[in-house]
Structure 1
Amino acid sequence: MLIEFTVKNYASFKERTTLSAETGNRLRKLKETNTFSSKNPSLLKSLLLFGPNGSGKSQLIQALQTMEGIVTRPTQAVTDKLNYYPFLFDEKSKIEDTYFEVKLELKNKIYDYSFSYNRESITSEVLTLISGNKEKEIFSRNGNDIQVSNKLLEDSIPKLRDNSLFLYLAQSENDADCIAVYKWFADDLLFIHDNLAMFNQEKFLSQLENKAFRKEIVSFLNFADLNIYNIRLKDEPYHLLKLPTLNKPVIS
């Protein structure tokens, strides 16, 4: 579950900007219905972004989607370029790194994962496990300097390319913490667009096969007062409409 998302130097975001799902201390009304009060920290069940046209609402979601793409669709060769879209209205920003960070609650564990990058390479990357007031750094990367917390991750270091994330490599080597964070991006984070051509319908339908995920979707729909209490999937043949045959003039 997303606690915070932070972006810097991306599209219309020059300075560090954070979207937070934490309830804060001031929320009193609807606390029992609109929050996950059992979570630590307490989290909002939904967030609403509002503002005038051109204020960056869509680009904030696009930033999270860009982060998801870099995590789940890694570069295949050392010459591949990263999806780099810095703040365009300042000459200095065009040569600075873009920064993404998420703070997640996953099965009663809190992870903080961040990285910065440019078109050519990942310049920094950190994964931290937070437990109360204690923090355990799973791995950190600053340029070519990589620090890891266990032997399994250490064996992965020589395989890392400048333009790829250590998180992807570490999860493929079966590190449990890295797998948990990677799976949030790959399986739990979904984007539904107004443009259905951009919506990955196959991924969404495959997710609905998972009972736990389907239960979460139904719970969300109930919370939105849509009166939907169950979702059932069934295959049905798709029949094309037969158009009537038109008499065409014969040209001889």
Structure 2
Amino acid sequence: MLVEFRVKNFRSLRDEQTLSLVASKDKTLQDTHTLATGLKAAPSLLRSAVVYGANASGKSNLIKALQYMRGVVIESAGLAPGQTFDRLQPFRLDAESAKKPTEFEVTFILTDEGGEKVRYQYGFAMTSQRIVREHLLVYKAFKPQRWFERHLDAETGKDVYDFGSGLKGPKNLWEGATRPNALFLSMAVQLNSEALRPVFDWFAHQLVIVNEISPLAPQVSVQMLKQNEQRKVMCDFLTAADISIADIDVVTRKVVGHTLQFDLTTGRREEGLTEQEIDEIKVRHVTEQGEAVFDLMDESSGTRNLLFLSGPVLDILSKGLTLVVDELDTSLHTHLVQTLVRLFHRLDVNTGGAQLLFTTHDTSLLDAYGLFRRDQVWFVEKKKDQSSELYSLLDFSPRKNEALERGYLQGRYGAVPMISGLIGVTH
């Protein structure tokens, strides 16, 4: 379960920004919209949260920051010596920030083998050349255990490590194997650290991010459609979303493709034929007047998006994962977005403690009955110096019956586009 995410000096997120999924003390919709943790520091977490902001405000950068952190955790142990992080982008609109490291930190909760909830606080700072700091705190009790801390000694140019007694295993071996451009966490797990494996696995398997960099792949839904029980669940979901689909079939057929091989030594070119399997989705619609089967491409983009989203969402709900989506409302009607969000609030569906974090421009969600508590709503605003600021709706202490959509569109909470400078347009 995601508790908190911090980022500093990543793209437009120059100053430290903190997104917290710790629920406030508000009792509104507590049973359905929050998760009890049993921990004093964070007694309950939010099952979902939404982020609003104008175009180019930086809300997508918030998702990309978490995605970049995840990528470094998963991939850094496999980098070649001296390989740089070319895609790292600190805030570049002032000379000082451009030279400073980018910082990430995430806090999450896992259940250990004994059924106890354990809170992990893991973070690191990095430049395009190397990791400059890294740390892991583990809260098996209220007081944290510092399992390890690493920092770059500016004078010697070497990493200095400080290990706590809570981390078991050949720490010196892991330290010696960790290159400057690799995370200690990632390298230790590659060298079979069982103690650190749950932290790595949270990033690799329990955090699912969907955006323009990592678009939704249809394979999960296609594989689920091949299983009768899973196909029925997906069809029921689409029917509940008012999509008039009676059934969906996956037809696998073999096609012949051409292959071309070219030998650079001899200059010989060889052509051949190869047989491969492809999956085609067929959708059956039934009305009182009759029925018909259509190819998937005959359906609207909204229906296709919902179909490809439904498989992963149902899988995430059953496994209790954390789903992060940039612009969830793309090609989806507002009622369909509401349906997806409400699935995370349904105790009979979300039995594993799954969470949803997403960005959107759909302001109608703000006043949808019972959809959000006030602590679930966040905003991102671009300031005059082009840096982005993340803040909560709670900062404005709105009344419980306040018309949030109207207030947001009127600029009461900020994070709206300023268009008064356009010719012929008044704000």
Instruction: Please indicate, yes or no, whether the TM-score normalized by the shorter chain is above 0.5.
Output: yes
Query: Which of 90, 101, 108 does residue 104 from structure 1 map onto?
Result: 108
Instruction: Summarize the alignment of residues 109-124 of structure 1 with structure 2, pairs less than 5 Å apart.
Output: 109-124=118-133
Give the structure 1 partner of residue 369 of structure 2.
Answer: none
Give the structure 2 partner of residue 174 of structure 1.
Answer: 192
Give the structure 2 partner of residue 224 of structure 1.
Answer: 342
Give the structure 2 partner of residue 199 of structure 1.
Answer: 216
**In the alignment, is the contact (CA less than 8 A) between 1:2 and 1:21 conserved in 2?**
yes
Unaligned stretches of 5+ in structure 2?
A: 112-116, 153-158, 225-310, 324-338, 351-427
Aligned partner of residue 103 in structure 1, secondary structure: strand
Write the letter of the residue equivalent to 1:16: E
Query: Which of 71, 76, 80 does residue 77 from structure 1 map onto?
Result: 80
Measured against aligned partners, the alpha-carbon deviations of 1:106-149 in whole angstroms (never above 9, x if no partner) come to: 11110000000000000000011013331111111011101223
Aligned partner of residue 120 in structure 2, secondary structure: strand
Give the structure 2 partner of residue 248 of structure 1.
Answer: none
Report the Cα distance in structure 2 between the residues aligned to 1:178 and 1:59, rounded to whole angstroms. 28
Write the letter of the residue equivalent to 1:104: F
Aligned residues: 226
Measured against aligned partners, the alpha-carbon deviations of 1:18-42 in whole angstroms (never above 9, x if no partner) come to: 00000022x2211111000244321
Measured against aligned partners, the alpha-carbon deviations of 1:34-73 in whole angstroms (never above 9, x if no partner) come to: 0002443210000110122222111000000000111111
Higher mean alpha-carbon deviation, 155-164 vs 36-45, is at 36-45
Report the Cα distance in structure 2 between the residues aligned to 1:169 and 1:204, rounded to whole angstroms. 33
1:173 deviates by 2.5
Q: Does 1:37 align with 2:36?
A: yes
Report the Cα distance in structure 1 between the residues aligned to 2:214 and 2:14, rounded to whole angstroms. 30
Instruction: Summarize the alignment of residues 97-176 of structure 1 with structure 2, pairs less than 5 Å apart.
Output: 97-107=101-111, 108-143=117-152, 144-149=159-164, 150-176=168-194
Report the Cα distance in structure 2 between the residues aligned to 1:153 and 1:206, rounded to whole angstroms. 41
Report the Cα distance in structure 2 between the residues aligned to 1:196 and 1:11, rounded to whole angstroms. 15
Q: Which of 1 and 2 has higher RCO (CA within 8 Å, sep 6+)?
A: 2
Unaligned stretches of 5+ in structure 1?
A: 231-252
Q: Does 1:94 align with 2:93?
A: no
**In the alignment, is the contact (CA less than 8 A) between 2:343 and 2:349 conserved in 1?**
no
Measured against aligned partners, the alpha-carbon deviations of 1:137-178 in whole angstroms (never above 9, x if no partner) come to: 111101110122344222211111000100001112232331
**In the alignment, is the contact (CA less than 8 A) between 1:8 and 1:100 conserved in 2?**
yes
1:80 deviates by 1.0
TM-score relative to the length of structure 2: 0.48
Give the structure 2 partner of residue 28 of structure 1.
Answer: 27
TM-score relative to the length of structure 1: 0.79
Give the structure 1 partner of residue 318 of structure 2.
Answer: 215
Measured against aligned partners, the alpha-carbon deviations of 1:172-230 in whole angstroms (never above 9, x if no partner) come to: 2232331111001100111123x597335557888979x98561479x97762599969
Cα 1:135/1:229, change in 2 over 3 Å: closer
Give the structure 2 partner of residue 50 of structure 1.
Answer: 52
**In the alignment, is the contact (CA less than 8 A) between 2:8 and 2:14 conserved in 1?**
yes
Aligned partner of residue 198 in structure 1, secondary structure: coil
